[in-house]
Every structure is written in C-alpha cells, then in structure tokens.
C-alpha cells in the first residue's frame, strides 16, 4: 500500500478508483518500466512476468542477471569501508589472542538476539570465555545501563561489546571508561551528534560513515566486523582461524534482516538469499528447534522467519526472560534447544492471548473516541495495566484497522505511561514524537518515520492527544485520501500455478524495500466465502473458463474488505493479492493471499 500523491489523469488499474478498503489500484510499472521489462525479458531470456516485477522495482536491464543471483562476494564491500571497523576488528582479535573475558551486551529483540549469538559463537570458536547480557525490557529499558556494565566488569569482563545498541549510550558507557574497560559498539540505529566514549563505534548510520551500508540491521554489521576480525586472525596465523566458515552462520543474519524489516536491497539481498539456504540445512540447533515447534514443514522462507520464528523469539523479550532468544541461538545441544524453544512457544501463546484481550479493549476505546477514525489525525489508546511489552503490537493492529498512525500506551500504578506507535507511509512519526518532547509533553520519546516510542505522565495524556491531532490531521487526511495499491499485473485462476510461483521466487526474496508482487484477478465469480477461525475469511474464485482459485484474507473479518467479501457471494468481482506456495501434509499448492477487492462493472 502506498500514500503517494495520485495523478488523476493516470487511469486506475481495471478502473478501480476506490476498492473495498478505500484504495485506488494503480499499475506499479509505468510505460518506461514496461519498456524496460520487455528489454530484460528479450535480452536475458527472463520470463516476461518476472521481468515486469524487476522493472517495476527499478532494476535496470544490465543489472537484472546479478539481481537474480545476489552473492556475498559481489555485494559485500571491504569491511574496512565501515568507519572504525578496523579498530573494532583489531581489538576483538587482540581479545582472542590474549584470551580476554568478553561481555556481549545486546538488545531484547530478534536482531539483538541474533547479533549476540553471532558474536558469542565467533568467540567460542577461539576458546574465549564470553557471556551475553540482555536487559529486561520493563525494568532496564533499551540499551546499556551503568548498573549492568558495573555488574559485568565485577564478574571479570575486560572487554565489552554492545550489539544492536550503544550508539547513544553516552552516560552508560562512561561507566566502562571510568573502570578502564574497552567498549566496542556495533550498531545500526540512527544517532545524534554526541558520540559515546568507546574504543570503536561501528555504525553505518554514524554521520562520518561513507560505506553506504546504512540499510543493514545490526546482525549484518556484526557479520562484517567478524569478517574483518577473521581476516586479521588468519593473517596472524591463528591456528583456529582457517577452520571457521562464517557463511554457515548466515542463517542468523538472514533471520535478523527479515525480522528487523530493513530494506532488502544490496547486501541484505545476499544475506537473506544465502541465509535461507543455510537455514534449510538446520545446522543451528536453536533455530531448528524453533522451526520444528512452529510446525514449519516446507523449505524455510522469509515469511517463516518474519511471522513464525521471529514472534517466538520476541515473546521472551516482551513478556518473559529476554535472554531466552539469544541463548537458544547459541546452543548446539538439540535437547536443550527443544526445551527453550518449547518455553518460547508457550510464552508466544501467552502473548497472543494477552494481545487479543488488550486489542479488544484498545479497539473499543478507539471506536468510542474516534468512531471510524476518518477525521482523526492519530489514534491514541491508553489503559492501566496493559503489558508494556505488547503495546507496539497493539499500535500496529490499530494502524491496520483505522489506516491512521496509532499509539497504544500502558500506564503503571504510578501514572507513568509507556507507549509505542506505528505510522502509515508518508508520515514521519518519530519527528512528531521528538516535537512532543521538545514541547514538554513527554518524559522521553523518539523513533523513526514508521515507529516510535514514548513515556508520558497520565496528566499530560489529553494535551498529548490534542498536540498529535494538531500536528498530524491535515497531512494524514491527505495521505489517507490518496491510498493506492500497486498492482504488478493481472492473472486468471488458471494462471495461478506453482510454476508461476517458482518463477516469481527467482526475483525474491521479498520484503521491506522489495515488496512481494501483487496481482489482480479480474472478473471472477465469488463461488464460496466463509469465515475461518475467528478473524480470517476464505474464498473460492471461479474464472470464465471454469478454473478455480482458493484464497484467504487474513484478519479481515471485521474490516471493510471482509464485509465486502461476505456480501458478494455469487457476484463477479476483482480481487488483488499475492501468490505463494503452501506446504501442507507433504503437499505443495498455490496460496492466494487476498489484500483487497472491488466491484466489477
């Protein structure tokens, strides 16, 4: 979905100016892209539909073959191009040679867990004693804190490595400096002008970094630092350096890249493509246990990482022990891995149950406060006793339902609210939150364009709502009025085959920055439509030639799309969605995920 301004002169795809969910359907490829697609297909022998997908995403004629075969060798620059990477590699290599005791301080999400596991596995290969410290989300918050750093030093750490955090931890890292302990920061988050005092700070988003790798997640940056470190150890003739194959750990990098929703461009494409191959070998006992407990039977895909594996790891950080995920990904013992995976699965089910209750409360409040939300700038819901680890998920669901930026805030018994927000395309949520901080409405807050966090006192909630509406209403209303769904092409039920799915997969992996192709299925009769579970809707579409296609609209039951489908049985309609392969009980079949629908003339 896009909120880009729409040129009314450009004809809507299939003439759909307003779909069931209020979107205008537009062709992703303009005439120039269509011409480029034809050239890609003719010159390189690439199937026409795949060529159209590539061209619609800006891939040039000469770039197409390399784009379809992303490799680490061709897409990873020399790690030395990262500012401070050589300093970090030299310090870590020195720790290996001196057998220093190392403490790894990570974040409590998937990227933090994978980054921590990568670093620990590397050090463990060389016989280095290391421990991972993951802060408690509720009691310690994000990033290093002085108390934890002092605790790690007291336990003997003489090198501290922070991963997926630390770039803005000026005060906390000062505790390590005062104790004479070196700190290496490996991160990817946006940072301000003030930098913490540390031995090395490797972050492609620091202002003086010219590597062009700011799209990497933390695990992707860690991998580059480890490449540089291994190079130094091999040059020095370390006896264990030659036997280490870093590529075998790309499954962890791919997992973090997908779950952190960073753009799948450049090196990230190679990380995910090669990492999925590594994951299918199931050499990581922890990851294999998670795949098993999630019931993944077919080859691992980005969908499995993002929607089945990632939430289970995150469940530990949200409502349980934040260190479970990183510990699991460091294990080699299948029995122990299965125990922790089962615990994370249990926590994920608890999280789902808590989320369902909290979401019902949040939606009820939003409906009472904002009605359909059409006149709202920002949806803000709040309640005493909500779990602060789940408010981000609530905000995402509210954004999906109301198509507006949304916040959910959990208030504690002291009247302090911890909130999380999610935005729509085109509206910078982080900037608005920082403005609220500057206006004295928040105790603290920050984030980026699509997501933000905040801390607010109960007495300021009303003023905060008013400020958000004042800041956002005009722009958000304009964006909402210009919602578009970009369509890659049209197919019939008979054309939705596994062969087509395989062709499309060759242009993957798909995700942030490289969206999965969306196809319209025009003028098909809705033969059957029925609810599945509590929130999904399953349909059967029939083409004019009698061919049929089964589809499913996830979480659509109480949406405009769901109501349209339930009321259109027997009618000819246009439907738009994505194609994938579903593996069920040993069988492989096409799955059509419905994203939108519209009346047919």
Provide the domain limits for residue 415: 371-463
415 Ramachandran zone, left/alpha/beta (phi>0; psi -120 to 50): left
Residues 265 and 307 both lie in one domain: yes
Q: How far is the C-alpha of 104 from the C-alpha of 116, rounded, in Å?
A: 6
Residues 81 and 215 both lie in one domain: yes
Q: How far is the C-alpha of 352 from the C-alpha of 346, rounded, in Å?
A: 10
How much of the chain exceeds pLDDT 70, in percent? 98
Q: Per-residue pLDDT tens for 310-364?
A: 999 999 988 888 899 999 999 999 999 999 999 999 999 999 999 999 999 999 9
Residue 365 lies in a domain: no
The answer, yes or no, to whether residue 226 has pLDDT greater than 70, is: yes
Structure tokens at 549: 């296609």
- Average per-residue pLDDT in the chain? 93
Q: What is the reported pLDDT for 1? A: 55
Q: Helices 250-259 and 218-235 meet at what angle, rounded to 10?
A: 160
* Arithmetic mean of pLDDT, 523-549: 95
Domain boundary among 331, 346, 361: 346
**Which residues, listed in sequence order, are joined to residue 121 by a DSSP beta bridge?**
none
Q: How far is the C-alpha of 226 from the C-alpha of 382, rounded, in Å?
A: 43
The answer, yes or no, to whether residue 5 has pLDDT greater than 60, is: no
Tell me if 257 sits within 8 A of 250, measured CB to CB.
no
Residue 3 lies in a domain: no
Domain boundary among 286, 313, 346: 346
pLDDT-derived band at 2, boundaries 50, 70, 90: low
How much of the chain exceeds pLDDT 90, in percent? 83
Q: Per-residue pLDDT tens for 288-312?
A: 999 999 998 778 999 999 999 999 9
Structure tokens at 427: 């509206």
Strands laid side by side in the 416-422 sheet? 379-384, 406-411, 416-422, 451-457, 444-447
Residue 499: Cβ within 10 Å count: 10
Structure tokens at 112: 């933090």
Tell me if 447 sits within 8 A of 429, measured CB to CB.
yes
Residues 287 and 142 both lie in one domain: yes
Q: What is the reported pLDDT for 452? A: 87
Q: What is the reported pLDDT for 9? A: 54
Q: Where are the alpha helices (DSSP H) in 214-282?
A: 218-235, 250-259, 267-281
Tell me if 380 sits within 8 A of 366, measured CB to CB.
no
Residues 131 and 171 both lie in one domain: yes
**Which residues, listed in sequence order, are joined to residue 453 by a DSSP beta bridge?**
420, 446
Residues 494 and 562 both lie in one domain: yes
pLDDT-derived band at 3, boundaries 50, 70, 90: low
Domain boundary among 430, 463, 496: 463
Q: Per-residue pLDDT tens for 113-162?
A: 999 999 999 999 999 989 999 998 778 877 899 999 999 999 999 999 99
Q: What is the reported pLDDT for 4? A: 54
Of residues 153, 193, 156, the one with CA closest to residue 172: 153
Q: Per-residue pLDDT tens for 167-190?
A: 989 999 999 999 999 999 999 988
Q: What is the pTM of this model?
A: 0.90
Tell me if 377 sits within 8 A of 473, measured CB to CB.
yes
Residue 438 lies in a domain: yes
Q: State the maximum Cα–Cα separation within the chain, in Å, rounded to a whole number.
A: 76
Residues 241 and 325 both lie in one domain: yes
Residues 95 and 58 both lie in one domain: no
Residues 321 and 205 both lie in one domain: yes
Between 193 and 293, where is the model more confident? 293
Q: Assign residue 242 the CATH number of its domain.
A: 3.90.1640.30
The answer, yes or no, to whether residue 67 has pLDDT greater than 60, is: yes
Q: Assign residue 574 the CATH number of its domain.
A: 2.40.50.460
Q: Assign residue 422 the CATH number of its domain.
A: 3.10.310.30
Strands laid side by side in the 200-202 sheet? 130-133, 102-106, 159-163, 182-186, 200-202
- E-strand stretches of 315-450: 379-384, 406-411, 416-422, 444-447
Residues 416 and 540 both lie in one domain: no
Residue 223 lies in a domain: yes
What's the Cα-to-Cα distance from 343 to each of 284, 289, 319, 321, rounded to whole Å? 18, 11, 12, 10
Q: How far is the C-alpha of 229 from the C-alpha of 128, rounded, in Å?
A: 14
Q: What is the reported pLDDT for 570? A: 96
Residue 159 lies in a domain: yes
Question: Using alpha carbons only, how large is the chain's radius of gyration in Å?
Answer: 25
Residue 477 lies in a domain: no
Q: How far is the C-alpha of 386 from the C-alpha of 390, rounded, in Å?
A: 8
Q: What is the reported pLDDT for 141? A: 77
Count of domains observed in the chain: 3
* Arithmetic mean of pLDDT, 385-395: 93
Residues 94 and 241 both lie in one domain: yes
Q: How far is the C-alpha of 304 from the C-alpha of 298, rounded, in Å?
A: 10
Structure tokens at 297: 């039977």
Residue 472 lies in a domain: no
Q: Per-residue pLDDT tens for 413-429?
A: 999 999 999 999 889 99
Residue 8 lies in a domain: no
Residues 335 and 377 both lie in one domain: no
C-alpha triplet 513, 406, 551: angle, nearest 5°: 55
Residues 308 and 384 both lie in one domain: no
Q: What are phi and psi of 533, to 5 degrees?
A: 65, -145
Those residues with Cβ within 8 angstroms of residue 346's Cβ, 6 or more apart along the chain or in another chain: none
């Amino acid at each position: 979905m896009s909120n880009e301004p729409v040129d009314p002169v450009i004809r809507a795809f299939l003439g759909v100016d307003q779909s069931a969910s209020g979107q205008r359907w537009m062709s992703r490829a303009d005439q120039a892209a269509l011409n480029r697609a034809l050239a890609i297909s003719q010159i390189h022998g690439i199937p026409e539909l795949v060529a159209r997908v590539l061209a619609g995403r800006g891939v040039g004629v000469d770039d197409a073959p390399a784009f379809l075969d992303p490799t680490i060798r061709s897409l990873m620059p020399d790690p030395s191009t990262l500012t401070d990477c050589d300093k970090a590699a030299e310090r870590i290599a020195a720790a290996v040679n001196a057998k220093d005791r190392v403490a790894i301080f990570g974040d409590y999400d998937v990227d933090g867990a994978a980054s921590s596991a990568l670093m620990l596995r590397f050090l463990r290969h060389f016989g280095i004693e290391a421990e991972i410290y993951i802060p408690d989300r509720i009691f310690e918050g994000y990033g290093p804190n002085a108390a934890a750093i002092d605790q790690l030093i007291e336990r003997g750490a003489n090198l501290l490595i922070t991963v997926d955090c630390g770039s803005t931890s000026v005060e906390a890292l000062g505790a390590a400096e005062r104790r004479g302990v070196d700190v290496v920061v490996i991160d990817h988050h946006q940072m301000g002008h003030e930098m913490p005092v540390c031995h090395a700070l490797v972050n492609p988003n620091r202002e003086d970094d010219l590597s062009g790798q700011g799209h990497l997640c933390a695990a992707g940056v860690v991998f580059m630092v480890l490449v540089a470190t291994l190079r130094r150890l091999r040059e020095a003739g370390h006896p264990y350096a030659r036997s280490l194959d870093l590529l075998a750990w790309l499954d962890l990098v791919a997992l973090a890249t997908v779950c952190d929703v960073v753009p799948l461009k450049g090196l990230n494409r190679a990380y995910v493509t090669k990492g999925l191959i590594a994951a299918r070998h199931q050499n990581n006992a922890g990851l294999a246990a998670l795949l098993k407990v999630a019931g993944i039977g077919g080859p691992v895909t980005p969908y499995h990482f993002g929607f089945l594996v990632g939430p289970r790891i995150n469940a530990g950080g949200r409502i349980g022990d934040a260190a479970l995920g990183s510990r699991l990904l460091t294990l080699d013992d299948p029995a122990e891995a299965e125990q922790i995976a089962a615990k994370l699965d249990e926590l994920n089910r608890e999280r789902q149950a808590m989320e369902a209750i909290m979401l019902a409360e949040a939606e009820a409040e939003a409906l009472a406060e904002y009605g359909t939300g059409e006149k709202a700038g920002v949806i803000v819901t709040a309640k005493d006793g909500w779990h602060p680890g789940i408010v981000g998920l609530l905000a995402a669901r509210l954004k999906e339902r109301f198509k507006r930026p949304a916040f959910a805030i959990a208030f504690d018994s002291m009247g302090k609210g911890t909130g999380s927000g999610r935005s729509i395309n085109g509206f910078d949520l982080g900037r608005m939150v920082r403005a609220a901080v500057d206006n004295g409405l928040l105790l603290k807050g920050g984030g980026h364009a699509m997501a933000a966090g905040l801390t607010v006192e109960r007495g300021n909630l009303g003023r905060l709502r008013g400020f958000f509406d004042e800041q956002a209403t005009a722009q958000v209303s304009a964006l909402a009025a210009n919602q578009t769904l970009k369509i890659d092409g049209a197919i019939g039920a008979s054309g939705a085959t596994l062969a087509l799915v395989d062709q499309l997969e060759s242009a993957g992996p798909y995700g942030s920055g490289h969206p999965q192709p969306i196809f319209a299925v025009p003028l098909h009769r809705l033969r059957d439509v029925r609810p599945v579970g509590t929130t999904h809707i399953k349909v059967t579409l029939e083409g004019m030639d009698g061919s049929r296609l089964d589809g499913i609209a996830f979480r659509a039951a109480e949406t405009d799309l769901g109501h349209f489908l339930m009321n259109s049985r027997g009618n000819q309609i246009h439907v738009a969605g994505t194609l994938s392969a579903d593996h069920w009980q040993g069988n492989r079949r096409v799955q059509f995920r419905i994203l939108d629908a519209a009346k047919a003339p």
